[in-house]
Each structure stands twice: as structure tokens, then as C-alpha cells.
Amino acid sequence: MNIKITEAGIKDVAGIIEFEKKCFVCVTDRFSPKNITNQIKSATCRITIIKDKKGNILASATGFLRHFKVPSGRIYKIGVSPALKQKGIGSLLLQEMESWFLRKKMQFSFAEVRISNTPSRKMFIKSGYKEIGLLPCYYGNLDKGLDLEDGIKYKKKLSNEAKS
């Protein structure tokens, strides 16, 4: 499969919104048009996307730079169209985001994942992330009333050597 990962631009906002409706079942996991626009304009955020030949978004990843005491990146979300799941697309987007973090001099990468999202949890572990904590009642499930779901926090030390 020939995959091209590109950085999202303002022209991609509507496509990202449609993609997220198909990809993220819980409304609370989707960004608003205003948030997506602000993220695309921000120097400390990056949305990477994969499109099909017709321009439809098939996968996306959103990451943020955090210039705290120890500079780190945060993988905010990775989404892959249902038809492309379990084909390594999420891992490619994760690697692309880690490469961006390294170019921006981040030392660590962090992510949070729903406790029920076994495929994503396995992807992060396979990619060298370590579980560092439970996040009680971290995710909302407005589609299911007011139920909340726990999350797991992951951390990885980034290294240029691994990317050489």
C-alpha cells in the first residue's frame, strides 16, 4: 500500500470533521471545527493526515509540544478508518509524530488511551511506550449517558539513535 503522510492545512478542516465522525464513536473524542482550525494554525500542534486518491481522509494523528521543565510531546489522538485498522497505519502515524517531536527537541512522548482500547494500547507498548499510571474517570462517554471510562497514561523516552 502506497501511503503518503501530510500535514493538515486549513483546507482540510471539513475533511477532518467528517473523518472524526466516522472514526471516533464517542462525541467527546472529536474536536470542534474551531479547535481543529486553532490546532492547524498553532506552532505547538501538528495534525498529520493520510488521504485516499479522492482526497478523503483515511487516518489522522494530533500531537502537541509541551515546553515544560522537560520538553515533551503529547500524542493527543490517532484515528484510522475502520477499513484500514490493524494494517500498521496507526504505528506509521505514531512514528511520524515522534519524528516531529525529535525535530522540535522534545525528550519524551506521552499518550493517554481508553482502558477499553486494546489495539491502541498494544500499539503503544509495541512502539516502546511504558504504562506509567491509571487515569480514573478520564474519558467521557456522553453517548452512553454520563458514564466515565478510565484511561492509561504512557511515556516513552525519545532518542535520535532509534530514528537513524
Residues in the chain: 164
- State the distance between the two ends of the chain, measured CA to CA, in whole angstroms: 23
Q: What is the pLDDT of residues 31-55, one digit of tens each?
A: 899 999 999 999 999 999 999 989 9
Structure confidence by residue, pLDDT tens digits, 2-22: 778 999 999 999 999 999 998
- Grid cell 485516499 is found at 52
Strand, helix or coil at 31?
A: coil
Give 71-94 pLDDT, tens digit per residue. 999 999 999 998 888 889 999 999
Q: Which domains does the chain have, with CATH numbers?
A: 5-163 (3.40.630.30)
Q: Quote the pLDDT of residue 149.
A: 78
Contacts of 86 (CB under 8 A, 6+ apart): 119
Question: Is residue 26 pLDDT above 60, yes or no?
Answer: yes
pTM value is 0.89
Burial of 122 (0-12, 13-18, 19+ CB in 10 A): exposed
Rounded mean pLDDT of 133-140?
75
